[in-house]
Amino acid sequence: MPVYGLRRGSLRPAPELRSPRPQRQRRNQDCERHRLWRRTTAKTRYLCPRDRKAGTKLPIVIFFYGGSWASGTRTGYSFVGRALAAQGFLVVIPDYRIGPENVYPDFVTDGADAVRWVIAHGGDYDGATDRIVLSGHSAGAYIAAMLAVDSRWFKQSRRAVRGFVGIAGPYDFAPFDVPASKTAFGRWPDAAETQPVTWAGAGDPPTLLLIGDDDDAVRAHNSEALANRLQSANVPVKIRHYAGIGHVGMVTAFARPLRFRAPVLGDSTRFIRALASSD
């Protein structure tokens, strides 16, 4: 499992432990590690910034990728991790079980396991395990939202989650009327139990919801419904709309050549930094 660190102004894969390069290990020793977060084939990818003071604990961002709960890999979204790590965060991108073989709640359970593992071991990577922000795009935003608002997954550990950044996420989409949601959620007996809006309420972490106004895959009412539920419980919520941006464009805006299209990275960074600096 490659682990990324910033070197000479860019992120490059750290060497495999089975064939190490001593010089590179000395430069970024804390990032050149390989860990399983659960006893399955799923792994995490860590990305960390080069320029940081010794002993400084970095805010942790756990990012879940999208793919209709049926596709995607952590390696395919390294560009998001690179972008966030360059802002001074320790970034974790977990893999999780996907369909059609795996359905709700498998991918949420995997996400919860990943967060618990990061809470227990993120300090090994200079991460501040009491300053974690959950984020994700599309289906990944759904996973992050469920972990942020549904206390069943974490119990006491939930206090480590300082915030949630949802990017073009589905949070209020029952009844299931498209193949992806039917496959992932259709077998669950109570559709309401699968919806983030059902669980959102008092005590949930501050939330930033990012919406592409041209998103035809996940409609804006998902974010608006979640925002309304959180606001009614006095949870701080911010919403950002991006004109002319569609569903995929919301995540590709993290890539350096496409950042001019929408300030998704900048808005996420400011929100996460504000949370990290709060008491």
3-state secondary structure of 137: strand
Query: Does 41 have pLDDT greater than 70?
Result: no
User: 201 is in which domain, residue-wise?
Assistant: 32-277
Nearest to 251, CA basis, from 180, 133, 167: 167
3-state secondary structure of 66: coil
- Band of the pLDDT at 278, cuts 50, 70, 90? confident
Query: Does 243 have pLDDT greater than 90?
Result: yes
Please write the tens of the pLDDT for every residue from 147-197. Answer: 999 999 977 778 899 999 999 999 999 999 999 999 999 999 999 999 999
Out of 21-30, 99-108, 135-144, 185-194, which region has the weakest mean confidence (pLDDT)?
21-30
Burial class (CB in 10 A: 0-12, 13-18, 19+), 229: buried
* Tokens 């102004």 sit on residue: 9
Q: Which residues pair with 90 in a beta bridge?
A: 60
Query: Does 120 have pLDDT greater than 70?
Result: yes
Q: Which sign, positive or negative, has the C-alpha torsion 201, 222, 66, 190?
A: positive
Would you say residue 192 lies in a domain? yes
Would you say residue 238 lies in a domain? yes
What is the total residue count of the chain?
279
State the chain's mean pLDDT as an integer: 85
What sections of the chain are H helices per DSSP?
Answer: 22-27, 78-85, 106-121, 139-149, 179-185, 196-199, 221-232, 247-252, 264-277
Query: Does 24 have pLDDT greater than 90?
Result: no
Would you say residue 137 lies in a domain? yes
Would you say residue 24 lies in a domain? no
Q: Into how many domains does the chain fold? A: 1
3-state secondary structure of 68: coil
pLDDT given at position 52: 64
Would you say residue 26 lies in a domain? no
pLDDT given at position 40: 33
Nearest to 185, CA basis, from 199, 167, 166, 170: 170
Cα separation values, 268 from 26, 171, 182, 207, 221, Å: 31, 19, 31, 11, 20
Nearest to 161, CA basis, from 135, 134, 140: 134
Token readout for 147 is: 């972990």
Q: Which residues have CB under 8 Å from 120's CB, separation 6+?
A: 129
In eight-state DSSP terms, residue 111 is H
250 or 3: which carries more pLDDT confidence?
250
Would you say residue 144 lies in a domain? yes
Cα angle vertex 110, ends 106, 115, to 5°?
A: 150
Nearest to 43, CA basis, from 119, 96, 105, 122: 96
Distance, in Å, from the CA atom of 276 to the CA atom of 129, rounded to the nearest integer, reads: 11
pLDDT given at position 39: 31
Specify the CATH number for the domain of residue 160: 3.40.50.1820
pLDDT given at position 68: 97
